[in-house]
Each structure stands twice: as C-alpha cells, then as structure tokens.
Amino acid sequence: MTDGEQRDGKRKVALWLASIVAALLLLLLVARFGRIDLWPDPLVLPSPWLFVAACAMQIPYTLTRALRLRFVLDPLVAAASGDGRRRFDWRVLQASGMISYPIVILLPFRLGELSRPLLLTRARGAGIGFAESLSAIAVERVVDGLMVVGMLFFGLAFAGLRGDELEAIAYVRGFGRLMAITFVLGLAVLIAAAARPAWLERIVGKLLPGRLGERGAAAAVRIAGTIAVLFDWRRGLPFVSWSLVYWSLTVCQQWLVLRACGLELGFADAAAVVAIVGLAIQLPGGPAQAGSFQFGMAAALALLTGPEHTAAASSFAALMYLLSLGGAWLLALPGAWLLARARRSQPEQAPDPT
C-alpha cells in the first residue's frame, strides 16, 4: 500500500469516527433532555392502517423526488443532440434518485450527495457531463432548502404550539432565519452565474492556474448554462410545481404517521415537523442520519406535544426513522434493476472527460 493510499485510508477512518462521535453526542442530548425516548416502550399505534397508507406513499414520494430533474436535463439533451424531441433516459433519471437517496442517508456528513451526479454522468446522455449533473443537483438543493424554510415559518405560524416553549420556538425561528439567509445567498449565486456566464468564466480562469484554469472556466460556462435552463418559465415553473408536489407528499406522509400513532395534529403541525427535521439533518450526524434525525424529531415534538404524549411521540419518531430508512433501501432495488437495463441498452461511447 502506498503512502497516499494509507493517508486516504486514515482520513476515511477519521471521518467515520467523527461522524459516530457526533451521532452519539446528539443521541445523548436527546436521551437526557428530549421529550421522546430513543425507542418507544410501549409502541403506540392505534391506527395501523394509517401507517400502511403512509408506507404506500413512499412510492409516489420517491418517484416525484426523482422526476423533477427532467425539466433541467431534457432541454440540455435536446440542444446537444439537435433533436428537439430527444429526452434524457427516464430509467436513469428515476434509478439515480432511487439509488442515491439511501446512499445520502447512509454516508456521514452528507457525502453521498455526489452519488447522483456521478450516476447521471455515467449515463452519457448527450450534453450531460459531470458539470451539468452537479449544477442541476445544486439548483434542486437550493430550491428544496427554500421550501423547507418556507414550511418552517408556515408551520410555526399555524401549528398548535405549546405556550410553555416560547424560548425553544424563538431558537427554532432564529435557526430558520439563518438557514433562509444561507439558501437565499445560494440562490443569488446561482442566478448571478446564469445571468453572467462570461464573468464566471473569467473569475474561474483567473483563480485557477494554467490548464486547470482553462478546464475550470469551460466547466463554469457549462454550469451556468445548466442553471439558466430553469430561469425559462417553461422549465422553471414545472420544476417548482413538482417540487411543491414532492414536499406536499412528504408532509402528508408525516401527517398520516402522526395520526397512526394517536397524535391529533394537523397539516401545519406536520409541516413544522418536516421542516425542523429537514434542517436538523443538515447538522453533522452519524451514518444513517443517526443522531441528527432524532435531535430534529425531539426539537419538533417538544413544541407540539406534552409529557402525556411521550409514548405516542416516541412511537412516531421511531416509525418515521424506520420508514425513511427502510423505504429508501427497499426502493433502491428496483432502481438498481432500472439502471442495469438502461446500461445494457446504451451504445458504446467514449465517456465525457469532465
């Protein structure tokens, strides 16, 4: 083993150890101060048929999540191929989402985010290289972030919050504002890149030396072109609309599980839970989102439930965690099958060097 391989191995071990330590610290905080148990005893599920309905929603939820990128990738494929009717392979589009989601969940510190751009690039669609795939995912993440922040303030405005948690509510709102600023700045950077690709090309070319600068500047132009696709309302409006459908399904699924566990909460309450957990899993956590997921659940349910609901709230948190993990891994199997079929039907091509 070379010195470089040894260093790389040590970095990976250190990364995993750091993520496990972070997960343990968050889990200890939940166990010590949270109003939920890490595992419910007893498990409260008075309406199991509602939980079955929530499980069934995992299919449209996953398909809708993957579908949105076609509004970014299809016009790039059509332009590069010269055929206005040509589209990005729908099998790769769906399969990449179904496979990458459990990878994102499994790997610590959200390192799995690169998996979907890599899967999309390997499909070798006309005009789709790593730069295009990565920028499409970046746009998706920024739009999702803004929607999560919007749901947070909607939920906090209309949910039945507990009056004795005013300080905690203030902290949650403050964190939401901070994340809102972050995502708005990210959107501003994307808009600037799409509006002034020549500026982006010059900046990257000057920052990076020699041949690396040339390649980086060329990639920057391609990234700007990908982002610009969504600023055409014929593409951007359907992308945002399908994103709204996706997050509505997410809220509906959580509401069904809340009701299945006997928690009489409404859609605004479910939206607040989705948003708080969605922001919490951005924190450094362990593999399979251990720690960060439970921390978000504990924070959200402390605002919406009382000590008398501990068993039901703990059941909801545990079942949602198992549903998110189990549903993601189960749907990865048909995703792998779709991806294999797509690859078998591909003609042999030279891979895109970028």
Structure tokens at 268: 């605004």
Tell me, letter by letter, the H, E, C secondary structure of 124-192: CCCCCCHHHHHHHHHHHHHHHHHHHHHHHHHHHHHCCCCHHHHHHHHHHHHHHHHHHHHHHHHHHHHHH
Closest to 95 in 3D by CA, of 125, 65, 124, 73: 65
Domains of the chain by residue range: 45-344
First-to-last C-alpha distance (Å) of the chain: 28
pLDDT at res. 315: 96
The model's pTM:
0.86
Q: Which helix (H) or strand (E) holds 316?
A: helix 310-344
Which of 5-14, 31-40, 237-246 ranks highest by mean pLDDT? 237-246
pLDDT higher than threshold 80 for residue 48: yes
pLDDT at res. 351: 45
What is the dihedral angle through the alpha carbons of 68, 72, 77, 82, rounded to the nearest 10 degrees? 130
In tens, the pLDDT along 114-161 reads 899 999 988 888 888 888 888 888 888 888 988 998 898 888 888 887
pLDDT at res. 54: 96
- 152 vs 192 pLDDT, higher one: 152
pLDDT higher than threshold 50 for residue 349: no
User: Of the ranges 76-85, 99-108, 182-191, which one carries the lowest mean pLDDT score?
Assistant: 182-191
Residue 301 has, within 13 A of its CA and on its CB side, a CA count of 33
